[in-house]
Amino acid sequence: MILKKKLFAVILIIMLLCVTLLSGCASFDRSAYVQAALDSLYKGEHTLFSEITKTDVSVLEQNYEEAIDAEMESFLTYMGIADYASYISEETRSDIRLLIRDVYSHASYSVGSEDENGTVTVRILPIDLYSATNSALTAYMDDFFEKNDAHEFSELTDEEFYTQYITGIVDILRKSLDDITYTSEVSIPVDIEVTDHNVYSISQQSLDDIDSHIINYNF
């Protein structure tokens, strides 16, 4: 468990908010925009972001689901079995997606007011999921591989083997959600980019910075 977390990938980075200054762009609320964007990306709460960006909720939901899928692939990589992901049953993949949804629901962030430069500061309490479960995960993995070395899984198919392995990990992580903890607060300045045509968007770097701190992968 030493691989870095993915860089965040979303399909709707740039949202068309207004076309001319007459439509209200001069008083555009950047803090509300960032808050709504994060709620859509991590909480699956799309109503306000849909209203701000004039984007259909179904598109935002697709965006959210693709982010969940990307996090799932990152999770499998982090657990060292990305090369064997094809052996994970679809039922188990569904369990992983549900786990990630539930983890994201615990995302803790607050959005400040924009400063004189139009920058909005987001304060994040990173979810301490993997650090808090490190001992339990390590013990589980050691036991699993000892049993494997003793040929206790020799009659399992590849799908059964890798599904059993990752299911044990998911069970440990899920149990920890009842007592979720967080690491120290991190402040991230979020840049809002504006084109000559009054198209507003959160910079890709800011999105990457936020996503790299939502869950603590460094311990």
Residue 21: what pLDDT? 34
- 19-37, pLDDT tens digit by residue? 333 444 557 788 998 999 9
Are 177 and 103 in contact, with CB atoms under 8 Å apart?
A: yes
Six-digit token string for 147: 């049993």
* pTM confidence score: 0.84
196: confidence class by pLDDT, cuts 50, 70, 90: low
Residue 213 predicted with pLDDT over 60: yes
Query: If you average pLDDT over each of 14-18, 67-71, 163-167, 208-212, which comes out highest?
Result: 163-167
Mean of the per-residue pLDDT values for the chain? 84
**CB–CB of 89/150 below 8 Å?**
no
**Could you give the percent of the chain with pLDDT greater than 70?**
86
Instruction: 38-44: list long-range contacts, CB under 8 Å, 24+ apart.
Output: 38/107, 38/109, 38/111, 38/122, 38/210, 40/64, 41/10, 41/67, 42/104, 42/105, 42/107, 42/109, 42/214, 43/104, 43/105, 43/107, 44/101, 44/104, 44/105
What is d(CA 204, CA 50) in angstroms, rounded to the nearest whole number?
Answer: 20
Q: Say how far apart CA 34 and CA 36 lie, in whole Å.
A: 5
Six-digit token string for 68: 């969940």
Average pLDDT over residues 166-180: 93
The pLDDT of 110-123, averaged and rounded, is 93
Digit-coded pLDDT (tens) for 79-105: 888 889 899 988 999 999 999 999 999
Three-state DSSP at 56 gives coil
Q: Is residue 199 predicted with pLDDT exceeding 60?
A: yes
